[in-house]
Each structure stands twice: as C-alpha cells, then as structure tokens.
Structure 1
C-alpha cells in the first residue's frame, strides 16, 4: 500500500501547513495590543488624577492666600485718617478670638498706626475669664498713656461681666437703649456627683499629697473649709472688678446697693447709673465723636488652618478636656 506522503516517484512530500497557526498568532497579537493599550490608558488616567489633585491643592492654596489677604487691613486706608475698629465678640477666654492672645496684638496695631484717630471697641459678649479681661484692661490703659489716643466702647447686644471689665478702660461707653450692660460679679460653678455615685454603687478613691489638693473635687462630698476658701477667693476677685469699674468710670457712677451685685441693666438704665455715657452705634461714633468716618478693622482672627481643623472635628478632644476641667472663676 502506498504511503499518502509519498508521490508516485517514491519521494516524501512535506506536510501541508496548518491553517490555524496564522489565526492563533493574530489573536495573541490583538490580546497583547489590548493589554498594552489598557496599561497606557491606566497610566494616562493616573496622570490625569495626579494633575487634578495638584490643581486642587493649588486652588486650595490660592483660596487660603486670598482669605488671609482679605483679613489684612487695607494699607491705603490706614495711610489716611480713620477710626480703628477692634471687635470683641463671644466668650472672653484663652482659647477664643476674644482673648488676650488676639486682642493685645490688635490693640497695639491700632494704637501704633498714626492714621488711627481713635480706637473703638465694638463689644458683644456675655463675659468670661477675669484673667483675660484683666490683661486686656491693663494693656488698654498702658497704650492710652503711651500713645495719647482715645478709646471708645460701643456696645451692641451685650456687654456683661468680663466684657464690661474691658469696657471700663474706655474713655466713653456708648450703648443702645436695649443693650444689656453690667453684671459686675463673679461666679464659680460646677457639679457634685456624690449622690449619683451612692445610687449606682460607685466609690471615689482619691489619694492626695497635700491636705487641700482635692479642693472642690466634684466626686467627693463638699468640704465646708474648702467652700469658705472658694468664697473668699471669689470675694477678692469681685473686689478687684469693682475697683476696675470705679477707676474707669470715676464720679460718673451712681452707686447703689445693687450696682455691684451682679445684676445687669438695659442700656437706658446703664446710662442713668453711670455705667455708660450715651447712645451710639459704631458709625455714629466714628462720624460724630472721632470725626473720622472711614473705619479700618484691626481685629486679629484665628488663622484659616486652625479654623478648618476645628470645623472638621480636630477640636473635639479639646472640648472634651474642657468639660473635664475643674471649676474656675468666671465673670458673668
């Protein structure tokens, strides 16, 4: 029988090439091309995202610069006669914008500028720390003496307690007839948890080195000696407050038994008691008293980075720590 691979002459013919080989090579080439294109597209996408992120950071940086620039006083305005404005808003405390950290720098800038004809304190605050208020009051007196420049306080809604402690350093105090003014007193508040602890069966185990180290511990029964000591301290700070008001207001005060009792009065009553001088708004005082209608704001504010951090929750831990702090004297 003749071999099919041999011809009639007996020579061997080469096998026919498989028709599937070119198709397989074409498929592999197309697959490699797809993979290569996919890798290139992935690289392009990654580069695009990098560019977008960089542009986003650049835009954020530009916004921060713009916001910082907006907070700076206008140098063109400062070169001409103007009224220097410093705002005191909210609680007066070490961790707020109404603190000596911010306000002392604002005061110095305003007093040192030769274009500022007077400094106006625009106040809307319920009070706060006697320490912060005392530092600010002392600095106002020092700068007034150094630069011979008048200071006016303009009250919006509230000028109470520590805020009035600061306002007392002004040469004149202007209010609205419905403003809340005064509250010349001191308080120290806190909570006692001993009854609750007894109910839930919790025992306080406090160890101290120093007989008074557990002073006003909220988890221990109140000690009569400690209470008397705290009251003496409050009375001392209250006396300091009264002395500041008497020094600042002088013979304009119409002293009554209630004047230094911690009560607050309307702006109308405050004028009658000598705690304020007249009615007036910021614009009115700048126009009619200072005689410089242009108002330049010297108030220093918290920087943008800190503001953003607090907005996104970085201040939560700090707030929790504040809640755990023991009571301290507050002018309210």
Structure 2
C-alpha cells in the first residue's frame, strides 16, 4: 500500500505536497511460460497487472524492470515485451532494465523493451536463439516388447512423436519453424538496440552464445554495468524512492476456485506434471551454468 503522502499527492498538485523522485520497480523472476507448483511462470497474464500498476503510479519518474530469467516461451516473452513498450509509449515514461543473475534468451528479449539496459559484471546476458529438445523412446519400448498405437487424422499431427523413429522431413519442418521465430527475435534486437550493436558481428551476436556483463556491454547488448539503486540514484538524485510493485495475493475462496479438479483429494507425494515442469526450468538455468 502506498504511503499517505503518495495518496495525497495523487489528488493534489505537486506544489502542494513535496515529492521525491519515485520509480516503481517490477521484478520478473523465473522461467517464462513454465509454472512450477503454486508458483506461476512469467506470462503476460501474471505480469500485466504489475505493469499496469507500475506505469499508472502517480508521477513516476520512470519504471524499473528487474529481470532474472533464463528464458522460456518465445510467445510470452514477446507479449510481455510488447506490453511494456505499449505502456511506456502511452504514458511517456522511460524504462530501465536491470539484469540480475541472468537475462538470457526470452529474458533478454524482455530486457530489450527498456530504453536502457544495465547488468552486473557477472550477469549472464544474451543467448539469442531458439532451442527445441526432446527424447527418443522408440528403441526402449521395442526392447521391452511395448507396442505403440497412435491414430491421427493428419499426416503431420504426430510430428516428432518421441515413441517413433525420427523422420528427416519432420526435423526439416521443425527447423523451418525455428528459423521463423529466430528471424523475429533477431529483428527485434536489431530494432531496439540499433546503432549500439556492432555491424560486423552478427554471426557472434546471434549464435545463441551468452556473455558476462562486461563482454555484453562491449557487444552493445547492454548499456552500462551497474546495480539498480546506484544507477537510478546517480540519474535521479539521492532522495530517490524505489517502490516495489507486488503481486496481489488472491483470497482463500479465489485460491480454492483456481484448484484443478481433484486437487482436494489425496494425491501422491510426487506430482508428475510438477516434477516435469521443475526439471524443464532447471534445465534452462543449467545451460547457463547456474
């Protein structure tokens, strides 16, 4: 809840109530589009209310976005990026992104929504690329005499089924899709970073590699090394106030209504869906060495 001064200042002219520069802070932590247990993954649905409140904060001098994400869904990354830019343009408020442990892949895509990007010297930044992964179980089930029965109404409906041998035409179709997504990612980075990117290093920048903060700065992926408090105090003065924008917790009735069917029944100690989501998120962090 905002302070009494903030509430009074929202309805009275600035000359009546002395105000210090105030910057709302939105924290984006975790994998994008991957929900683990009761912790929702980053998505437009979970982030939009926080962004709306941040950009509607009375007389905000800017909005700060703290990012700590290994990436995830390209669609949700793009949706969050687009919403940040739409609100920034509508409210005419500058946006500063601060990379923490990592702003990689979709996390970096979101960071590009900011007017300026900052990182710690040890932050991991970049990983501009598209990845798909899976397993092949057809030899395993054959070894144990398991017969795979699959019925579809389209020849491409079961593309890359993990229980069938991989087909070259299926891989080619997947790679074409990846190239489409990759091209959109590259164009977004070029549009947002502009002349700050070296013109002769496209192959390195868009190789899927990632870098520590200083190297990311040299490549134009970020603007400066620095932490949020120090950077913003230097920019807006030592009397600056940072206002974290917190998610509003649903009431007990809302939480009960959101539970899936059977949630109140006796469940096994390990939920397979939650375990898989946890492994998927862990894999995203592990590829960065974190």
Pair 1:261 & 2:211 matched = no
Q: Tell me if structure 1 keeps the 8 A contact 2:126–2:210.
A: yes
Whichever structure has more helix as a proportion of its residues is: 1
Cα distance between partner residues in 2 of 1:157 and 1:321:
23
Q: Normalised by the size of structure 1, how large is the TM-score?
A: 0.70
Q: Tell me if structure 1 keeps the 8 A contact 2:34–2:72.
A: no
Equivalence for 1:24: none
Equivalence for 2:217: 271
Pair 1:319 & 2:274 matched = yes
Query: What's the secondary structure of 2:24's corresponding residue?
Result: strand
**Aligned-pair distance for 1:74?**
4.6
Query: What's the secondary structure of 1:262's corresponding residue?
Result: coil
**Aligned-pair distance for 1:177?**
1.1
Equivalent in 257, 280, 293 of residue 240 of structure 2: 293
CA pair 288-304 structure 1, distance change in 2 beyond 3 A = farther
Equivalence for 2:30: 90
CA pair 196-301 structure 1, distance change in 2 beyond 3 A = farther
Q: Deviations over 1:49-103 (max 9, x none)?
A: xxxxxxxxxxxxxxxxxxxxxxx45564574441110001111116325221121
Query: What's the secondary structure of 1:93's corresponding residue?
Result: coil
Cα distance between partner residues in 1 of 2:33 and 2:3:
28
Q: Tell me if structure 2 keeps the 8 A contact 1:93–1:99.
A: yes
Q: Normalised by the size of structure 2, how large is the TM-score?
A: 0.79
Equivalent in 69, 87, 91 of residue 125 of structure 1: 69
Cα distance between partner residues in 1 of 2:141 and 2:4:
61
Equivalence for 2:15: none
Cα distance between partner residues in 2 of 1:152 and 1:181:
16
Q: Tell me if structure 2 keeps the 8 A contact 1:194–1:221.
A: yes
Structure showing greater Rg: 1
Cα distance between partner residues in 1 of 2:60 and 2:184:
31
Cα distance between partner residues in 2 of 1:283 and 1:120:
10
Equivalence for 1:63: none
**Aligned-pair distance for 1:299?**
3.7
Cα distance between partner residues in 2 of 1:97 and 1:73:
27
Equivalence for 2:83: 139
Q: Which runs of 5+ in 2 are unaligned?
A: 10-18, 281-286
Paired residues in the alignment total: 254
